A and B are shown apart, each in its own frame.
Chain A
Amino acid sequence: MGELGLILIGALLVNNFVLVQFLGLCPFMGVSSRYPPALAMGLATAFVLALSAALSHVLYHFLLVPLDLVFLRIIVFITVIASVVQFTERVIRSAHPLLYEVLGIYLPLITSNCAVLAVALLAVGQELTFLATLVYSCGAAAGFALVLLLFAALRERLEHASVPTSFRGAPIALVTAGILSLGFVGFAGMAG
């Protein structure tokens, strides 16, 4: 339990995939301009992340390793991720069509979110058990969603701040992301 807790905290905060490992920056910048879509995107990505990591783990350990096809892991993982994203997209389009409209292109782009592939690869690379992989991917997913929500909240406030003209828009957002990243560096040494 203690080890799983460390894995969770490590994936969630200390080695946060976005702000410490700088993975998945595309949706982090793209969908964080307002809070509700950021929440939806965070949840969707978290779902894809956890599910694809679990599926990848199963395929890797029960198919690729016995058949000695470990070198195929990247292409297999990407296939898994793409399928899970397509599945998520269909579910969202059916259950919440407005959200589907709002997320637009960023929903299929979860496929190319490097954080998702990274979680699957890193989990396999660290030779984690299935349960540990699940905890690890959930931690990473929660970390991604948390950072996305934090950043969206900050950007909503930034819209009402008087920013120098040359910094308006993307520049001040990147500066804010950098400062937020500095904050997360403070978690280093806490766990993992």
Chain B
Amino acid sequence: MAAALTLLTVLGGIGAMAGLALAWADRRFPPDRDSVVDAIDALLPQTQCAQCGYPGCRPYAEAVAGGAAIDLCPPGGAETVAALANLLGRPAAAPPVALAAPLAVIDERRCIGCYLCVPACPVDAIVGAPQFMHTVVADLCTGCELCIAPCPVDCIALVPRPEVVDPRPVRIMARPRRHTPEAPEEPCIRCGLCAPVCPETLAPQELLWYARTEDWSNAAAHGLDRCIECGLCNQVCPSNIDLLTRFTRGRQALAAASDKAAEAERARAAYDRRELRLAERARDRDARRRERLTRAAGRPWQR
């Protein structure tokens, strides 16, 4: 019993002594968290973009000191992750997935050059001057969204950053002009390629038929007067037939013919009016003459 009492006293005494010593140490050496936060904060990019989910760089540094993930800072990128991992002795996540930041893109057609987005950008990724269109330097943009709110015309959008840039150059599709005046015309093979391309839904192949014989009135009946002379039928013709020149000539002939017809019509109308007028005048003259004769017949003595 006495032994047990001694045992408990000894153990309790040692424990109490240790507790007292630790309590004194706690007072004598208060924990200093600020210097850790300072060291972490010094490694952060200080863009205050809040993409990490904390209000700014300092709050994020405090969170990291408290055990938050070190790969939440898109502006800092992989370099900051590596630096933080080195500082804190934590493993750096191999591919920082959280860092796939989007890219801000200015719709340059809508940008009014107000310059409000340029001071807002924490990394100076927007180039431009007041009254001039601005654009975003993709390599510098961190996707922090800070430029979006100031834009008065909403011309800035965040787009996913393209994964791989296609190294192939852009190809311009330029088709060679099919109709070349040097190449000889070949007979129409009635392939019908010209019909679907005609924007006026004419049948150039049939019009060609009438054009060969200069039967312009029939051509007009088949819609030659609606031809807009765009030349698409020339482009597609495999026989290199110059339809356009023929149709132009036909339209000129039609126009001339209609002018001539109008002239003839006008002349005939004039002639008709003159005939009418002459006939009326002759009738008047006959009438007057008959009246005079009648009056003379009533006075035989004058004869």
Which residue of A72, A83, A97 is within 8 Å of B10 (Cβ)? A72
With known contacts A72-B11, A93-B31, A101-B88, A87–B39 Cβ distance under 8 A: no
Q: Do the beta carbons of A97 and B36 come within 8 Å of each other?
A: yes
Asked if B300 lies at the interface with its beta carbon under 8 angstroms from chain A, I say: no
With known contacts A97-B35, A98-B39, A104-B89, A79–B18 Cβ distance under 8 A: yes
Which residue of B7, B14, B35 is within 8 Å of A98 (Cβ)? B35
Q: Do the beta carbons of A37 and B89 come within 8 Å of each other?
A: yes
Asked if B25 lies at the interface with its beta carbon under 8 angstroms from chain A, I say: yes
Q: In the complex, which residues of chain B have a beta carbon less than 8 angstroms from the beta carbon of A163?
A: none
A79 to B39, CA, bound (A): 35
A59 to B119, CA, bound (A): 69
Q: Can you name the residue of chain A whose Cβ is closest to the Cβ of B64?
A: A101
Q: Can you name the residue of chain B whose Cβ is closest to the Cβ of A63?
A: B10
User: Which residues 43-86 of B have a CB within 8 angstroms of A?
Assistant: 65
Q: Do the beta carbons of A76 and B89 come within 8 Å of each other?
A: no
Convert B24-38 into 0s and 1s, putting 1 for each residue whose CB lies closer than 8 angstroms to a CB of A: 011001111111100
Secondary structure type dominating chain A contacts: helix
Q: In the complex, which residues of chain A have a beta carbon less than 8 angstroms from the beta carbon of B32?
A: 93-95, 97
Q: In the complex, which residues of chain B have a beta carbon less than 8 angstroms from the beta carbon of A86?
A: 22, 25
In the assembled complex, the CB of B14 is this many whole angstroms from the nearest CB of chain A, namely 6
With known contacts A72-B11, A83-B18, A97-B31, A90–B25 Cβ distance under 8 A: yes
A87 to B24, CA, bound (A): 9
Asked if B302 lies at the interface with its beta carbon under 8 angstroms from chain A, I say: no
Q: Do the beta carbons of B18 and A91 come within 8 Å of each other?
A: no
A83 to B19, CA, bound (A): 8
In the assembled complex, the CB of A84 is this many whole angstroms from the nearest CB of chain B, namely 9
Q: Do the beta carbons of A91 and B25 come within 8 Å of each other?
A: yes
Residue pairs across A and B with Cβ atoms less than 8 A apart, 5 shown, are A67-B6, A69-B6, A69-B7, A93-B32, A98-B39
Q: Which 10 A-B pairs have the closest CB atoms?
A: A94-B29, A83-B18, A102-B89, A97-B36, A90-B25, A93-B31, A90-B29, A87-B25, A97-B32, A97-B35
